Amino acid sequence: MNHYIKTAFVLFICLTPCFIGYAVAQVGAETPTADYIFETIEVPGVDFLEVAASNDFGDYAGNTRSADGEKTVGFTLIDGVFTTYDFPGSQNTYFYALGNSGQAAGHYKDSDGLYHGVILENGELRQYDFPGAAETNIYGLSDETGALSGNIVDAAGVSHAFSGELTITFPGAINTYGDFVNAAGAVVGSYVDADGMFHGFIRHPDGSFTTIDLPTMPNLEFLFVNTITDAGMIGFRAKAANDILRSYILLPNGTLYEVRLPGSAITVVRNVNQDGSIIGFYDLADGRRLGFVGRPNTQPNGAGFGNIFSMHLSKGLNMLSVPLKPTVEMTARSLAVKIGATTVITLDTANQAFLAWTPNAPDDGFPIEGAKGYIVNLPEARAIVYTGTAWTNQTETPVAPPAITPLIRGDRGVAQEAWAFVVSGHLAGGQHFNGYSVEVRNLRTNTVMTSQVRSNYFAAATADLRYRSVVEAGDRLELIVTDTNGNIVSEKFNFTVNADTLENAVMTVMLDGIGTPRRNHLLQNYPNPFNPETWIPYQLSEAGTVSVSIYDTGGKLVRTLSLGFQSAGFYKSPERAAYWDGRNALGEPVASGVYFYQLVTPSFQQTKRMLILK
């Protein structure tokens, strides 16, 4: 296990972004140099570390040399752990994207010299080929949507940009190259015109294009646009004939800054983060290639870029309010992705019920609003940076959440309690259960939480806003499912809370057999004792003719309830259970005492006792 080492450099030339609207980049004779504090990213014993991507948690991905020095391989540097990846049978493997989940992406060169996309998930590499493409090069990965971006080569050998399922060709271009897409759907890349000249571009979500040019450098060998933030800050690199490769930061109003790390032969910016920091790599005169992260010495501001707000979140449960309105509307999913949360919980004030979202949800969940509190659970403590503008619906300025002891732990540090908790999962089967409800009862506290099912997914949440325990290790949770009419349509599922579920503040389960019992079963009547009427619930694992016979203690038949042909299912609610009005076959009220009731089907019989008290 190797850990990275950082060394710092400081530049002192002012950076003053002002985001008003996009304009074509203009380079003067003296392009100012951006004011960044640089830190070198190193791995002991590694002389070639081409850092190409980062996530919001200070993790990195990129490219390095194989152990024998014969090829390029991808790497990740996550929580200080350096790991290399080589696609089997490849000539080279490259990583250019890294998500908050630790997923990396890039491409590899096969034995025939063709490129294929490659995705790292859960430590395993898998190939990705864009549909119909002869070659695929991945350069971007969206945390918000999961969409890949980059460029492809068609059967005729022409290059096109892509983002998700969208293919992009700049009008009139010979070749179009894509790189990255931001949360708003703006794609950046480069194209080669009919004269063979390079230009950068932004493809806006409405389909229009803005060109990025360096008109005072007509002898460009190439110009590649690498990245765009949600606020519109762009990073690109270019090289003119008889000059070194140079990297630039471009603001939407056309203001341009060169990025140059002191003492480097070349500096390459590969990614610009939402807080204005940059990452990339640089070459030293002795041939070593090292990574860097650069943080603005003067924080950017302005009407379009907005403000920057930092907060520290503890490991475990936290209460937070999103301090700034992001450029793109934030949802439960995008908040969870940004901070690495295992769940996001909000209070539905209209119904006074908690709503939860977990990463296995089929949708993006509820919108994140200003001046509203959210409960989140983090597997590790993290410093989070928000950028944006002031909320228009906010009544007070949010502050960083107070330090909260998220879980009560035993002597060995094992989680014992939690003040917020979610039970989440799916209803198995090909049937759609939209509109069904899942009820979760804690058998120790007898408290109940419910969730409506959507796309066969549910997330039932509970919390105590005074941070008192709502669940403990060892608690048994009982789950039942009801249909849209309130009828019970499942067995009782039982699950036990353990330390792992408390650490995540989420228990994930799968509920099967909905609507079809695993066995025939006669249940206890209710109410019991009763006077004068009662309901007799049962369940059928197979269809058939059903009756309920009632006997007195001497074995004499008192009444037969002929229920006719019944489909397999649960007959537990008052609308579906067998009903007895406490009368015999002649319509006369029966006397107080003990009676027996027997469920009879073609393949099953079961008897239980009940009591009438008058």
- Assess whether the region 312-511 and the region 521-612 belong to the same CATH fold: yes
In this structure, what token pair is assigned to residue 525? 């009547």
To the nearest whole number, what is the mean pLDDT of the chain? 88
pLDDT higher than threshold 90 for residue 462: yes
Residue 414: pLDDT band by 50, 70, 90 thresholds?
A: low
pLDDT higher than threshold 70 for residue 411: no
Q: How far apart are CA 266 and CA 262, in angstroms?
A: 10
In this structure, what token pair is assigned to residue 233? 């800050």
What Cα–Cα distance (Å) separates residue 102 from each residue in 6, 11, 41, 457? Answer: 21, 31, 18, 25
Rounded to two decimals, the pTM is: 0.70
Residue 298: pLDDT band by 50, 70, 90 thresholds?
A: low
Q: What is the pLDDT of residue 302?
A: 43
- 333 in helix, strand or coil? helix
Beta bridge mates, 271: 279
The helix or strand, by DSSP H or E, that contains position 386, with its residue range, turns out to be strand 382-388
In this structure, what token pair is assigned to residue 17? 């972004």
Q: Mean pLDDT across the stretch 126-141?
A: 97
- 332 in helix, strand or coil? helix
Q: How far apart are CA 482 and CA 438, in angstroms?
A: 7
What contacts 57, CB < 8 A, 6 or more positions away? 100, 340, 382
**pLDDT greater at residue 11 or residue 369:** 369
pLDDT higher than threshold 50 for residue 42: yes
Beta bridge mates, 120: 104, 125
Residue 64 near residue 25 (C-beta atoms within 8 A): no
pLDDT higher than threshold 80 for residue 24: no
- 367 in helix, strand or coil? strand
pLDDT higher than threshold 60 for residue 582: yes
pLDDT higher than threshold 80 for residue 144: no
Pairing of strands 420-427, 506-511: parallel
Percent of the chain scored above 70 by pLDDT? 90
Architecture of the domain whose range is 521-612: Sandwich (2.60)
Q: Which of 69, 72, 123, 118 is nearest to 97 (CA)?
A: 118
pLDDT higher than threshold 50 for residue 432: yes
User: Hey, what amino acid is at 483?
Assistant: D
Percent of the chain scored above 90 by pLDDT? 70
pLDDT in tens, 466-484: 999 999 999 999 999 999 9
Q: How far apart are CA 261 and CA 280, in angstroms?
A: 11
**pLDDT greater at residue 330 or residue 2:** 330
What contacts 151, CB < 8 A, 6 or more positions away? 137, 139, 159, 160, 161, 162, 176, 177, 178, 179, 189
pLDDT higher than threshold 90 for residue 10: no
pLDDT higher than threshold 60 for residue 392: yes
Q: What is the pLDDT of residue 387?
A: 72
**pLDDT greater at residue 311 or residue 239:** 239
Per domain, the residue ranges of the chain are 49-255, 312-511, 521-612
Residue 101 near residue 333 (C-beta atoms within 8 A): no
Q: Mean pLDDT across the stretch 571-600?
A: 95
Q: Mean pLDDT across the stretch 221-234?
A: 91
Q: Mean pLDDT across the stretch 2-31?
A: 38
Beta bridge mates, 222: 239
Question: To which residue do tokens 């945390």 refer?
Answer: 143
Q: What is the pLDDT of residue 11?
A: 31
What is the length of the chain? 614
Q: Mean pLDDT across the stretch 542-546?
A: 95
Q: Is the N-terminal amide bond of 252 cis, ω within 30° of 0?
A: no
Q: Mean pLDDT across the stretch 129-148?
A: 92
Q: What is the pLDDT of residue 384?
A: 81
Q: What is the pLDDT of residue 398?
A: 45
Q: Mean pLDDT across the stretch 241-251?
A: 91
Q: What is the pLDDT of residue 431?
A: 81
CATH (residue range 49-255): 2.120.10.30
Pairing of strands 471-472, 415-418: antiparallel
Residue 481 near residue 539 (C-beta atoms within 8 A): no
3-state SS of 1-70 is CCCCECCEEECCCCCCCCCCCCCCCCCCCCCCECCEEEEEEECCCCCEEEEEEECCCCCEEEEEECCCCC
Q: What is the pLDDT of residue 325?
A: 82
What Cα–Cα distance (Å) separates residue 362 from each residue in 70, 359, 454, 504, 531? Answer: 44, 8, 8, 19, 48
Q: Mean pLDDT across the stretch 277-287?
A: 93
pLDDT in tens, 347-380: 998 889 999 999 999 999 999 998 899 999 999 8
Q: How far apart are CA 365 and CA 217, in angstroms?
A: 48
Rounded to the nearest 5°, which phi and psi values hold at 572?
A: -120, -30
Write out the CATH class of domain 312-511.
mainly beta
Q: Which of 137, 55, 134, 37 is nearest to 94 (CA)?
A: 137
Residue 595 near residue 513 (C-beta atoms within 8 A): no
Mean pLDDT is lowest, of 23-27, 298-302, 337-341, for 23-27
Q: How far does Cα 143 stand from its chain's mean position?
A: 7
pLDDT higher than threshold 70 for residue 72: yes
